[in-house]
């Protein structure tokens, strides 16, 4: 399964712990799901711009605190050439600000990214907002979002998310 590691191995499993939040919450018709195969999770679906839509996302709650020594978030992903956002939340609320870091994928190629807390910007419903500086130790939820205004199928696989 894909994993979220917090110093020692820690995983968010099973697949139903990854929740889907798409533009259907505001009348859009995008669709997505998270599926597992051979220790890889894949977030995929269809992005639609119909009904003023245009985003698909998945997120999971952390069940263990992030270690105090954590300074970076490392992800290992394989995408479809589209641009995604890694999103971190410091609240357990579903409708709260998210700290976002955009990253580009290369079609069919595994890539590893490392981000410091300072690289994330606070967003609420797609708009930048004032928020406290992100501290990785405050993370309660982690996820991915696609909102690149390109209609059509998408796929983002991830093997690991490491907070170290």
Ordered DSSP codes for the chain:
--EEEBSB-----SGGGSEEEEGGGGT---EEEEEEETTEEEEEEEE--GGG---EEEEEE-SSPPPTT--EEEEEEEBSS-EEEEEEESSS-SSS-EEEEEEE--BT-EEEEEEEGGG-EEEETTEE---PPP-GGG--EEEEEE-SS--EEEEEEEEEEEE-
Does pTM surpass 0.85?
Answer: yes
What the chain holds in terms of domains, given with CATH numbers, is 3-163 (2.60.120.430)
Q: Which pLDDT band, with edges at 50, 70 and 90, does 55 fall under?
A: very high
pLDDT in tens, 83-133: 999 999 999 888 899 999 999 999 999 999 999 999 999 999 888 999 999
């Amino acid at each position: 399964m894909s994993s979220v590691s917090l110093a020692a191995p820690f995983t968010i499993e099973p697949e139903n712990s990854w929740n889907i939040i798409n533009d259907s919450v505001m009348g859009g018709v995008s669709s997505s799901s998270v599926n597992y195969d051979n220790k890889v999770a894949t977030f995929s679906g269809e992005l639609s711009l119909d009904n003023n839509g245009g985003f698909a996302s998945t997120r999971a709650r952390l069940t263990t605190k992030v270690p105090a020594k954590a300074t970076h978030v490392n992800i290992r992903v394989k995408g479809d050439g589209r641009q995604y956002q890694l999103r971190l939340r410091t609240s357990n609320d579903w409708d709260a600000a998210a700290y976002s870091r955009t990253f580009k994928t290369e079609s069919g190629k595994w890539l590893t990214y490392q981000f410091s807390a300072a690289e994330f910007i606070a967003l609420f419903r797609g708009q930048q907002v004032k928020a406290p500086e992100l501290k990785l130790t405050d993370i309660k939820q982690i996820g991915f979002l696609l909102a690149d205004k390109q209609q059509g199928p998408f796929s983002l696989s991830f093997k690991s998310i490491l907070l170290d």
